[in-house]
Amino acid sequence: MIHDARVLQEDWVPRELHHCEGQIQHFSSELKPITHGLGGENVLVTGPSGTGKTTIAKYVVEQFTQQVLGIRYGYTNCTSDSTKAAVCHSLV
């Protein structure tokens, strides 16, 4: 049973993620250069629907935005924007 309706909002990110330490560490290590003014690595996150890919990505990016001022990022739902052109248009 859902006790907090916020979890159904697309932009909601939990304050803590449990049992995802390995994925969070890997994702964070790819973006770590950003904290030193360098470019981060491209990260492709794949897996079955509903496994937390988007939640982990948003969680890690939110952590980085708290550490690095002026960081810019974008999010697009590739289910509805499934072509490269649609993704680019969505991000612009």
User: pLDDT tens-digit profile of 4-56?
Assistant: 777 777 777 778 888 888 888 988 888 888 888 787 777 778 888 888 888 88
Residue 1 has pLDDT above 70, yes or no: no
Alpha helices, H only, the chain: 21-31, 53-67, 84-91
Residue 77 has pLDDT above 70, yes or no: yes
Report pTM.
0.69
Considering Cα of 26, then 32, then 33, then 34, what sign does the dihedral take?
positive
